[in-house]
Amino acid sequence: MLEFLWKSETRPWRVIVVGAGFAGLSAARELEKRRDVELTVLDRSNHHLFQPLLYQVATGGLNPSEIASPIRSLFRDSPRATVMLGSMTGIDRRKRTIQIDDSGSTLPYDYLIVAVGGRTSYFGHPEWESRAPGLKTLDDARNIRQGVLLAFERAEMEEDPEIRRRLMTVAVIGGGPTGVEMAGALAELRTHVLSREFKRIRPEDARVLLLEAGPRLLSGFPEKASATALSELGRLGVEVLLGETVEDIGTDSVRTNRRSLSAENVIWAAGVQGHPLGSLLEAPLDRAGRVKIAPELHLPHDERVFCLGDMTSLENRHGKPLPGVAPVAAQQGKHAARNIGRLIDGKRPKPFRYFDKGSMATIGRKSAVAVLPGGIVLSGWTAWLGWLAVHLAFLVDVQNRLVVMFRWAWAYLGWKWNVRLIDDVQHHPSPPATVMSSPTGAGLPG
């Protein structure tokens, strides 16, 4: 009854979208079409980030700005959309307000969409984070790039072969799509890019390790795709270690159930968990801390608050959990916006159905695996071209699309990955005296 009375009002409906990732952005895009909605998009960062290409920033292939688009610019032509920079820190569902930052400022809503993504999970070992950075933000990608490039610089000046070997070892933990893509790109960086530029060390001898606890890579893909990924990574010289459960990560080593490995850089690509904000929504959480939502995508028993994307847990109609991937988030965003429209119009919201168009992972240049609906597996060139096309199409910014296309073509033709700034020179170690006094390289590693 109350809903009906509200519908008869002509007031604009205040809808807040928190998080302009894949889910939030697609919801906002749909909501901005409605004249009766006053839209606010709130994000703690000023850009929408295309996470699937983060690994290329981490390996020097792309600039951070090429996979990030200012949220404000995405809504510049939307008269009814306001963009705000800030973090949602709390909610009062009774008063229908959210808290922003720690300043105590609040924003009222009629409908709320919370889509703040997931967090890297260290499986109960938060202390590993400082040693093994995850790959979730641009800062993560820049830190990884910095760590890997600095290690090669230090190796160039190092005389002790054991230390040199450690400096030239990168261990990637987690054999899912991110780990596979990361390991493949690191192997190519080493073999085709750095090998031409260092004169004292042989970067092509650097070790790229990929550790996976399970019996195969890409466990969410069919076995044929896992086998292809394994052989393609082998071709690139990645040492894939299956059945290796990480038990400890030290300052320059990784201990697994089977061995201890010396590695200067360790990259964590193993787990995702819910966002801490999820626990403030007074809704049930799954074991990974993700919010269990209703099939219509709102919180159970609250049709005013929708929750989407990586921070949530929802099963498809066959009882299988939906994967934490961009298409799920984007489709949920559109669906949630339409359900809000239905509620405003006095209709019932509809349950969400995921339309699975397949999944893919690239394994270096000219190689990828793609799984199409129906379980058809493509690999090699065809899959790689498909991967390029899909990733370009998903970049939200036309300018970025063109720049990325140009960079890929340039890299393809000349193996030039030139986005290799080492920003933080503070961490650059002083070269040993012998190196400084030995311009001919005498006494240095060959």
Q: How far apart are CA 151 and CA 131, in angstroms?
A: 14
In the complex, least distance from residue 304 CB atom to ligand FAD, rounded to whole angstroms: 18
Strands 13-18 and 111-114, by their bridges, are: parallel
Query: 326: which residues sit within 8 A by CB, 6+ positions away?
Result: 22, 51, 52, 394
Choosing from 181, 212, 232, 264, the catalytic residue is 181
Closer residue to ligand FAD (CB): 50 or 128: 50
> Is residue 197 annotated as a catalytic residue, yes or no?
no
Q: How far apart are CA 108 and CA 106, in angstroms?
A: 7
Q: Is 38 buried (19+), middle (13-18) or exposed (0-12) by CB count in 10 A?
A: middle
Closer residue to ligand FAD (CB): 157 or 340: 340
Residue 223 DSSP SS3: helix
In the complex, least distance from residue 310 CB atom to ligand FAD, rounded to whole angstroms: 4
Closer residue to ligand FAD (CB): 256 or 362: 362
Contact 384, 232 (CB under 8 A): no
Query: 399: which residues sit within 8 A by CB, 6+ positions away?
Result: none
Q: Which of 137, 165, 138 is nearest to 151 (CA)?
A: 165
In the complex, least distance from residue 53 CB atom to ligand FAD, rounded to whole angstroms: 8
Closer residue to ligand FAD (CB): 387 or 417: 387
Closer residue to ligand FAD (CB): 70 or 432: 70
One-letter amino acid identity for 321? P
Contacts of 352-358 with CB under 8 Å at 24 or more apart are 352/295, 352/296, 352/297, 352/314, 353/316, 353/317, 354/316, 354/322, 354/327, 354/328, 355/331, 356/327, 357/327
Closer residue to ligand FAD (CB): 136 or 298: 136
Task: Determine how many CB atoms are found less than 10 A away from the CB of residue 216.
Answer: 17
In the complex, least distance from residue 175 CB atom to ligand FAD, rounded to whole angstroms: 14
Strands 302-307 and 298-299, by their bridges, are: antiparallel
Query: Which residues are at the interface with ligand FAD (CB under 6 A)?
Result: 18-24, 42-45, 51-52, 54-55, 87-88, 115-117, 135-136, 177-178, 277, 309-310, 324-327, 329
In the complex, least distance from residue 240 CB atom to ligand FAD, rounded to whole angstroms: 19
Q: Tell me the CB-side half-sphere exposure of residue 324, using CA atoms within 13 A.
A: 23
Q: How far apart are CA 241 and CA 46, in angstroms?
A: 39
In the complex, least distance from residue 434 CB atom to ligand FAD, rounded to whole angstroms: 40
Which residue's Cβ lies closest to ligand FAD? 21
Angle, helices 398-414 vs 380-394, to 10°: value is 150
Closer residue to ligand FAD (CB): 31 or 155: 31
In the complex, least distance from residue 445 CB atom to ligand FAD, rounded to whole angstroms: 34
> Where in the sequence numbering do the catalytic residues fall?
181
